[in-house]
Amino acid sequence: MTQVLLPRALDELWDFLEEDPNTAVYSGGTDLLVNLRGGRINPSRLACLERIEEIRGVRDAGAAVFIGAATTHTHLLENSLVSSEFPVLTKAIRVLASPAIRNMGTIGGNIVNASPAGDTLPPLYALDAEVEIVSRKEAKRMPVSDFIVGPGRVRLGANEIVKGVWIRKAPEFNVRHFEKVGLRKSQACAVASLAAALSLSEGGKIERARLAWGSVGPTVVRSAEVEEALLGRELEIQMLAEVARLVERAVSPIDDVRASAQYRRIVAGRLLLRLAESGCKN
């Protein structure tokens, strides 16, 4: 039976990792346990992060918000600061897996797993979130778009962990939208998803735009060309249909058991059209 360690502070965790480099770190464990049972990983020990207070919870840091890596999705759904400042993230978490998974799974796990279909990732890309990485010797930050380099691949060195994610407040965004398309209405892995944060002028013109698509490339896709094509224009269907053609060229989906690459390409463009309706509600 694999030994499970329960450090209560980061210094204690560093000791465990230095004692045995084959120790696997986890928090909720919703994906780790699947990989263990499937024989895809074989760590000598497990170190659970859920009791380390430094990497749990949500903290208001003035211009930004810190979300600890070991914070569960359910906690984020119930947090008023997150829902008021980052409703696009809340909308994504609301359709993430099932209540049981949201009760156990954490935002840090979703980031480190680096699945192109990870529901929290498009909002984090659209919000220009930064990942904080710590070791015994140092702490550093990098954009989530730099941290994730491919499916299941992140820039995390030996004896480093993700402490949490920093998101700058952006009250100027008055349209915040998330939608995903799956093969069923609940507990669905995304065929394609879109997170959007737009700033509209009083006259209804788009002044700023951040868009991020999930499950249509090896990592979350953002396109400067698409975002720039929206600027200075009104949020209406005809314009969005025109820009959707740029989206279809910007994404690079694959064929798999859930959908063909061509279907994903079309859906990615069509998701953009939803912003017209979303803009009417904001």
CATH number where 254 lies: 3.30.390.50
CA 69, CA 106: separation in Å to the nearest integer? Answer: 7
pLDDT given for residue 280 in this prediction: 57
Number of domains in the chain: 2
pLDDT given for residue 187 in this prediction: 81
184 and 161 share a domain? Answer: no
pLDDT given for residue 184 in this prediction: 82
226 and 121 share a domain? Answer: no
pLDDT given for residue 46 in this prediction: 97
Q: Which of 148, 168, 188 delimits the end of a domain?
A: 168
154 and 247 share a domain? Answer: no
pLDDT given for residue 107 in this prediction: 98
Element (H, E) at 194: strand 192-200
Q: Which of 168, 185, 209 delimits the end of a domain?
A: 168
Contacts of residue 254, defined as CB under 8 A and 6 or more positions apart, other chains included, come to: 261, 264
Eight-class DSSP state of 264: H
Mean pLDDT by 10 residues, the chain (282 residues): 94 97 94 90 96 97 98 98 98 95 97 96 98 98 98 96 98 96 86 98 97 98 98 97 98 95 98 86 56
Residue 128, domain CATH:
3.30.465.10
Domain of 186 in residue numbering reads as: 175-281
106 and 71 share a domain? Answer: yes
81 and 214 share a domain? Answer: no
Residue-by-residue DSSP string for 122-168: HHHHHTT-EEEEE-SS-EEEEEHHHHEEETTEE---TT-EEEEEEEE
187 and 263 share a domain? Answer: yes
CA 85 to chain centroid: 16
pLDDT given for residue 203 in this prediction: 95
186 and 155 share a domain? Answer: no
Which of 143, 165, 148, 170 shows the shortest CA–CA distance to 67?
Answer: 165
CA 242 to chain centroid: 28
